[in-house]
A and B are shown apart, each in its own frame.
Chain A
Amino acid sequence: MIRDAKLWTWHVLAGLVIFVFLGLHMLIMHLDDVVNIASLNPAGGHPIDWANVVARGKMIFFPVTYTVLLGAALFHGLYGLKNILFELNLGDGVKRATTVVLALLGLGLFVYGTWAAFASLALARSL
């Protein structure tokens, strides 16, 4: 129970981290015409245009905050999913298997996403 309480506290804290960094991500990607932050989309046009991706990719701020957001969101989302699945009266074996699968999925995506964030930094700076 103490472990559950700690994990729940981390879940709430991760939610607050996501609120800040996902909020910033949404401002840049989806509210760019309402709240114009020109320095983060310096090429103009759409935020996902390659020129803007490269311009943001050169700033160390992005891979660092993406990694923090990635870790917080994977933990928050997969822990939330686990809690929902556990409410389906699963047997102990299925619960253990679910925990292992979700943990491996989260770790795998965290490693891949972190690699992609820093590989993009290296690529953008080489252009």
Chain B
Amino acid sequence: MLTAKGYPNRLGVGGWLGGGRWGMERYLYTLHRLTGLGLIFYFLLHILVTSARAFGEAAWVASMGRVTGPLFTVGEYLVFLAFAFHAANGLRLAFIELGWGVGKPFEPVYPYKTSVDFQRPLAIVALLLAALLAAAGTLDFFVLHKGVTP
């Protein structure tokens, strides 16, 4: 019977972070992981904090009061930036998963090309989308921001 031996991650966490000269997409992968980890830990806490609305106004106000202030505003803004990048880059990854925007298969004839050559425009569009979302978020958080009514 055949058994999969797998490919041990010999470089550990350092292998995730360092992309060497593998190109922009390799760093997008690292950033996708980092933002994903940040978002999941925030989301687990967010479920607990926002569920307070089921217990009435006093519980909601108390719960929101515990996560209000300049430090939390900056933290929330970082979460928004993580969302902007993870969403735009995730959409790019879903497109690639479906075979969209990666070009058609072709015979490997010298001088060789890689599919990354065809994916680059998609990566640039994803980054532009993330930047647009980030700019809108920055405007909302720091320029047009309204305070919470006590």
> Residues of A with Cβ closer than 8 Å to B?
1, 12, 15-16, 18-19, 22-23, 26, 30-35, 45-46, 48-51, 53, 57, 70, 73-74, 77-78, 80-81, 84, 87-89, 105, 109, 112-113, 115-117, 119-120, 123
Number of A-B contacts (CB under 8 A): 96
Q: Is the beta-carbon distance between B140 and A23 smaller than 8 angstroms? A: no
Query: Complex formed: what's the CA distance from A32 to B80 in Å?
Result: 13
Q: Is the CB of B12 within 8 A of A88?
A: yes
Q: Which chain A residue shows the least CB distance to B144?
A: A33
Distance of A34 Cα from B53 Cα, bound (Å): 26
Besides the contacts A12-B97, A16-B94, what 17 more A-B pairs have beta carbons closer than 8 Å? Answer: A12-B94, A15-B94, A30-B80, A33-B140, A33-B145, A33-B146, A34-B140, A45-B149, A46-B149, A50-B57, A53-B60, A77-B39, A80-B36, A112-B48, A113-B47, A117-B54, A120-B54
Name 12 interchain pairs, CB-CB below 8 A, sorted by A.
Answer: A30-B137, A32-B140, A33-B140, A45-B146, A45-B148, A57-B53, A77-B39, A87-B16, A109-B44, A113-B51, A116-B53, A119-B54
The chain B residues found within 8 Å of chain A, CB to CB, are: 4, 8-9, 12, 16, 33, 36-37, 39-40, 43-44, 47-48, 50-51, 53-54, 56-57, 60-61, 64, 76, 80, 83, 87, 90-91, 93-94, 97, 136-137, 139-141, 144-149
Cβ-defined contact, A19 with B87, below 8 A = yes
Task: For B16, list chain A residues within 8 Å (CB).
Answer: 87
Interface of chain A: mostly helix, strand, loop or mixed? helix
Shortest A95–chain B CB gap in Å is: 11
Cβ A46 vs Cβ B147 within 8 A: yes
**A73 to B39 CA separation, bound complex (whole angstroms):** 10
Inter-chain contact A70/B144, CB cutoff 8 Å:
no
Q: Is the CB of B140 within 8 A of A30?
A: yes
10 nearest A-B pairs in the assembled complex, by CB-CB distance: A116-B51, A33-B144, A77-B40, A119-B54, A116-B54, A46-B148, A49-B149, A45-B149, A87-B9, A120-B54
**A117 contact set on B, CB distance < 8 A:** 54
